[in-house]
């Protein structure tokens, strides 16, 4: 079942290593088949060096139960499932421990939009979730998804326009229309986290023109999208 999606998720997980976003068994990628209501995700604690497409685990979107696979699904599976249920537009989710984005998450700070590189891909500051309550620590991974959705909705953030978040004291989660786009957004998150860290160490008081944000974001999104579009006659 879902052999083609397993292969895509497997390759997307290997891309995390290719882009230096993870080491050892850290991180995970999933994708969803919305027609079947099934999610394919990386198995828990399996090295990227030895992992195979057939190791990918298939779980039910609503119950979280494993419907296919011999290995345990990623420990972050409940987080992925909350995001798929809350954001119907997304088709892939990524979690990494990429160094700079994780450092911003551990510091509990939003990654500010202070450059066109950020604005090309993420409209808003990349938000960091709040501390979790003692109650939320029970079923931590499920409530990680809940605090992500709460942070996005309370910030009136469009999850398609700002496809990522930092989980405080943990690390980044990104998403996209499919697993590949979710990985792409994870790479961008790490890059803009690094750029912002360096920029603010040079000038903590730097600013960003909101008009420049709109100009760059609209190059890829919205009616005036330019990137990769046919030349207007
Ligand atoms: O963030 C963490 C642990 O802190 C996990 O995402 C990471 O170790 C990957 O766990 P899985 O192997 O996907 O269960």
Say what the ipTM of the complex is.
Answer: 0.93
Q: Where are the alpha helices (DSSP H) in 122-227?
A: 134-137, 140-154, 179-202, 210-220
Which atom of ligand 1 is closest in space to residue 25's alpha carbon?
12
pLDDT at residue 222 tops 80: no
Any domain includes 227 = no
**Cβ neighbour number for residue 55 with a 10 Å cutoff:** 16
Hey, what are 193's tokens? Answer: 């986290």
Domain extent, residue 96, equals 3-221
Give distance in angstroms: CA of 21 to centre of ligand 1.
13
List, for residues 47-92, the tens digit of each pLDDT value: 999 999 999 999 999 999 999 999 999 999 999 999 999 999 999 9
Any domain includes 226 = no
Any domain includes 229 = no
Any domain includes 232 = no
Residue tagged 């879902």 (tokens): 2
CA–chain centroid gap for 41, Å, is 14
Catalytic residue among 70, 135, 205, 227: 227
List, for residues 162-189, the tens digit of each pLDDT value: 999 999 999 999 999 999 999 999 999 9
Considering its fold, how many domains does the chain have in total?
A: 1
Cβ of residue 117 lying under 6 Å from some atom of ligand 1: no
Q: What is the mean pLDDT of residues 6-35?
A: 97
What global pTM score does this model have?
0.96
> What is d(CA 15, CA 93) in angstroms, rounded to the nearest whole number?
13
**Cβ neighbour number for residue 31 with a 10 Å cutoff:** 27
CATH number for position 193: 3.40.225.10
pLDDT band for position 158 (cuts 50, 70, 90): very high
Residue 67 CB-density burial (10 A; 0-12 exposed, 13-18 middle, 19+ buried): middle
Any domain includes 230 = no
Q: Is 33 left (phi over 0), alpha (psi -120 to 50) or beta?
A: beta
Any domain includes 116 = yes
What's residue 170's pLDDT? 98
Hey, what are 97's tokens? Answer: 């421990």
Q: What is the mean pLDDT of residues 152-164?
A: 97
């Amino acid at each position: 079942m879902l052999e083609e999606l397993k292969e895509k998720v497997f390759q997307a997980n290997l891309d995390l290593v290719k882009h230096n976003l993870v080491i050892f068994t850290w991180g995970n990628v999933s994708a969803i088949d919305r027609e079947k209501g099934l999610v394919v995700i990386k198995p828990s604690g399996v090295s990227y060096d030895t992992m195979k497409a057939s190791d990918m685990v298939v779980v039910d979107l609503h119950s979280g139960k494993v419907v296919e696979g011999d290995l345990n699904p990623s420990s972050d599976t409940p987080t992925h499932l909350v995001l798929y249920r809350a954001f119907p537009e997304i088709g892939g989710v990524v979690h990494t421990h990429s160094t700079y984005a994780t450092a911003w998450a551990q510091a509990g700070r939003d990654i500010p939009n202070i450059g066109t590189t950020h604005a090309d891909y993420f409209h808003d500051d990349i938000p960091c979730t709040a501390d979790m309550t003692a109650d939320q620590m029970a079923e931590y991974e499920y409530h990680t998804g809940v605090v992500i959705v709460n942070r996005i909705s309370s910030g009136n953030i469009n999850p398609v326009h700002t496809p990522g978040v930092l989980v405080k004291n943990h690390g980044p989660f990104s998403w996209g229309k499919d697993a590949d786009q979710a990985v792409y957004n994870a790479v961008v998150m790490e890059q803009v986290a690094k750029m912002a860290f360096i920029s603010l160490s040079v000038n903590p008081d730097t600013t960003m023109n909101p008009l420049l944000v709109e100009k760059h974001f609209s190059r890829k999104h919205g009616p005036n999208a330019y990137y990769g579009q046919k030349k207007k006659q």
